[in-house]
Amino acid sequence: MRVLMVSKALVTGAYQRKTEEIARRGVELTVLIPPDWGDRRGRQQAERAHTAGYTLRVAPVRLNGSFHLHFYPTLGRELDRVRPDVLHMDEEPYNLATWLALRAARRRGIPSIFFTWQNICRTYPQPFRRFEQDNYRRAALALAGSEDAAEVLRRKGCAAPIAVLPQFGVDPEIFAPEPSAAVNAPASPAPFRIGYAGGLLPEKGVDLLLRACAGLRGDWRLHLAGGGDEQDTLQHLAAELGVAGRVTWAGRLSSAQMPDFYRRLDALAVPSRTTPAWKEQFGRVLIEAMACAVPVVGSDSGEIPRVIGDAGLVFPEGDAAALRVHLQRLHDDPAERARLAQAGRARVLTRYTMARIATETVTLYKEVAGSRL
């Protein structure tokens, strides 16, 4: 079975483990990625970290960084060259790139798939509403990253079958505790190390994390990995709160650097807050940290509570005091840290590995390809 996947998300090297796992399951896979991708968090250059068993090609992209209007001008030629049994467009249905790709695939008689994280039922202006409705009719399958995203598809009248499957998992051999340390290792020496990884953007709630940390008792340090247009504001807030000396700004790290970042932490916080246009779609850093046996604390925005389950701590979004209570609890209780560390890794091994997601993806490919095989 031949599959052509188009994905700007796969510029991140760690995510490419899924494509290796898909190829290992008998799929002749070609993946197209842009040379880089820019958004409010900064610009991510394409990485080549996991490329065994499949073809990873860099394709030109027009309007790079425009989430809704970017597209791949050579995609038609790629479809003719690869002649896939399935086109997997790893992109939202209301975007131009998906609309052009699914139209080109349909002209060639190739069944196609799109992926969506959109978990708020929004009405888009034209032409995006047309893109969305056309893609609902053209797709052979819609992949939704969460149950909320699947419900949005249903409410909007998506005619395609819907499968719920996270976009990516983690490789538990790469995102793993220190080899010399057991999952239930004793407490780390002071200071207590809190981490955050992701965009420095208003909806990500990093300001809440700074305010929560400012009221903690004991010795602590906060390590922030990521970039975004709120960084200057956050640095000024840290100074106003009198904690600038306890905060490290690591910048945007490569995917290969992230396991070591997590392993140096005693806790990871994901304090996302819902806005009228956005709520947390998954919180991938949660499963990365959990795989590294790091206790996690997340808000109840969007998918976060479902991802954490009973393997971490959840607080009401926007409530810095409640976040502080959870962080203080982890600071003061090494046994609780050890319990949650063990529970978090176990949850990832059961639900969120790249291998499991690849297996389910290949099963769906076979269903979509049908009589073409």
Q: pLDDT tens digits for 122-142?
A: 999 999 999 999 999 999 999
Q: What is the pLDDT of residue 182?
A: 47
Confidence of residue 190 (pLDDT cuts 50, 70, 90): confident
**343 half-sphere exposure, CB direction, 13 A CA radius:** 15
**Cis amide prior to 259 (ω within 30 degrees):** no
Q: What is the pLDDT of residue 54?
A: 98
Q: What is the pLDDT of residue 91?
A: 97
Q: What is the pLDDT of residue 41?
A: 79
Pairing mode, strands 42-45 and 36-39: antiparallel
pLDDT digits (tens, 9 = 90+) for 196-245: 999 999 999 999 999 999 999 999 999 999 999 999 999 999 999 999 99
Q: Which residues contact 287 (CB under 8 A, 6 or more apart)?
A: 169, 170, 175, 307, 348, 352
Q: What is the pLDDT of residue 39?
A: 81
Mean pLDDT, residues 72-101 taken together = 98
Mean pLDDT, residues 253-282 taken together = 96
Percentage above 90 pLDDT, the chain: 93
pLDDT tops 50 at residue 15:
yes
Computed over every residue of the chain, the mean pLDDT equals 95
Q: Which residues contact 94 (CB under 8 A, 6 or more apart)?
A: 68, 118, 124, 128, 129, 131, 132, 135
Q: What is the pLDDT of residue 187?
A: 47
Confidence of residue 186 (pLDDT cuts 50, 70, 90): very low
| Integer Cα distance of 90 and 309 in angstroms | 27
pLDDT digits (tens, 9 = 90+) for 17-45: 999 999 999 999 999 999 999 887 788 89
pLDDT digits (tens, 9 = 90+) for 161-179: 999 999 999 999 999 998 7
Please report, as a single letter, which amino acid is at residue 95: N
Give domain limits for the chain: 2-169+353-372, 192-351
* CATH tag, 2-169+353-372: 3.40.50.2000
| Integer Cα distance of 226 and 254 in angstroms | 10
pLDDT tops 60 at residue 287:
yes
Percentage above 70 pLDDT, the chain: 97
pLDDT tops 80 at residue 360:
yes
Q: What is the pLDDT of residue 40?
A: 77
Query: For residues 189 and 206, which has the higher predicted lDDT (pLDDT)?
Result: 206
Mean pLDDT, residues 63-77 taken together = 96
| Integer Cα distance of 239 and 80 in angstroms | 57
The architecture in CATH of the region 192-351 reads 3-Layer(aba) Sandwich (3.40)
For 90-113, the three-class secondary structure string (H helix, E strand, C coil) is: CCCCCCHHHHHHHHHHHHCCCCEE
Note whether 2-169+353-372 and 192-351 share their fold.
Answer: yes
